[in-house]
Amino acid sequence: MATLAFAGSLSVYKLPNGAKLVVNRREDSQAVAIHVWFKVGSLYEDYHQKGMAHFLEHMLFNGSEKYPYGEIDLIVESLGGNINAGTSKDYTFYHITIAKPYWETAFDVLYQLTQKPLLLEEMIQKEKPIVIEELRRGKDNPTNLLWEEFEKVIYKVSPYRHPIIGYEETIQSFNRDMLLEFYRNFYQPQNMYLVVVGDVDPKEVYEKALETFGKEEGRPVKKPQILPEPEQLENRSKVLKDSRVEKAYWLIGWRVPPIGSKEYYALVVLDQILGNGKTSLFYRELREKGVVYSISTGDFARPRDNIFFVYATFDPDRFKEVKDKTFKLMQSLRESIEDEEVQKAKERIINSEVFALEKVENDAYYIGYSLSVVGLLDYYKYFENNIRSVRREDVIRVLDEYILKKPYNEVLMLPER
């Protein structure tokens, strides 16, 4: 048994075929979360494959060698568990949360789901109209269009500019050979992270992993060509008109440090101060004073070409006022921010994190995200320490160097009158 690390109750293993296993033994919960993460998302697709990672998420639930179509959901639900999956631009994961006595059954289900799918041609053809209908419903939502256009404005080269769900013409072209090629490359042990959180014996989990996922062949992973976005030299703006909206929707964003970098933690603190919750600067000065209907901030938490954004809704004729006040508030924060405000923001972040991690499914998610997206388990293990180390001058530096002094990207959606 190759134990790579041990920190508190966190046990980390590497299976002989290259799969990584992390077990966080927690005696405070009778629920067990089991996650299978793959370092693959829509970012890893060639153009003719656009939408394939999301399509495979649908297909993996359509029958495996052991479980015919529909049986996996029935098994998990009959045991009181929850099963689901998620596909993003950077990662894909499949997960079950279930009561402790049934964790081995759930583990076997996820093994069958992710490693033994049938991917039958007839089911591929059956799934196409379902996914295309999902794509069309997304286009019927104006806010979905806003976010898609926002990324198209930001990214001119990077594959981040493409939607996760793909395009109707690419989805229509999918066949079994295409799916198998993509699946065999990325959904295999050397691109896999297994995460188990709950009151389980790490050695027993490791043995179970050897009996299941450990039997699969680990192969070198094809390296995708992900073009970096060139430096942006000028502001970019786009106005959309939509008859389905009655108020203005505004997104503005800047290129910022990637998740896991030293400067990223200062960005998290800045986000908390500017637009996270009712104590934030934007909420107090813009929302409470009736300038906007809503306003929030955040970042995409990406390992490359990351973006920090401000998102607001307001009366269409107040756009200039909202934009001017937003920039003035950020400029004034640069001059007026105090150590006490930074300290309070850090405590809110840490308290929120502690509260979220009480749920085993959130704990497993953060471990999987750290491994597959950030590329370092240290992000999960030392997040609190890194937040505590942020100083006032770090927050000012990030605000100054990455936002106030850099070009922005914005999309404004207005009612079509």
Read off the pTM: 0.95
What value does the mean pLDDT take over residues 230-254?
Answer: 97
Q: Which tokens go with 58?
A: 């649908």
- Predicted confidence band at 2 (pLDDT cuts at 50, 70, 90)? very low
- Predicted confidence band at 6 (pLDDT cuts at 50, 70, 90)? very low
What value does the mean pLDDT take over residues 52-72?
Answer: 97
Alpha helices in 60-102 (DSSP H): 71-78
DSSP state of 120: -
Going from the C-alpha of 187 to that of each of 177, 214, 310, the distances in angstroms are 15, 13, 35
Neighbouring C-beta atoms of residue 382, cutoff 10 Å: 16
Per-residue model confidence (pLDDT) at position 9: 80
Domains of the chain in start order, with CATH, are 3-215 (3.30.830.10), 236-415 (3.30.830.10)
Across the chain, mean pLDDT equals 96
Per-residue model confidence (pLDDT) at position 30: 95
pLDDT over 90, % of the chain: 96
Question: Is pLDDT of 18 > 50?
Answer: yes
Tell me the C-alpha distance between 194 and 107, whole Å: 10
3-state secondary structure of 125: helix
Cβ–Cβ < 8 Å for 124, 173: no
Per-residue model confidence (pLDDT) at position 417: 78
Per-residue model confidence (pLDDT) at position 224: 86
Question: Is pLDDT of 5 > 80?
Answer: no
Q: What is the pLDDT of residues 299-357, one digit of tens each?
A: 999 999 999 999 999 999 999 999 999 999 999 999 999 999 999 999 999 999 999 99
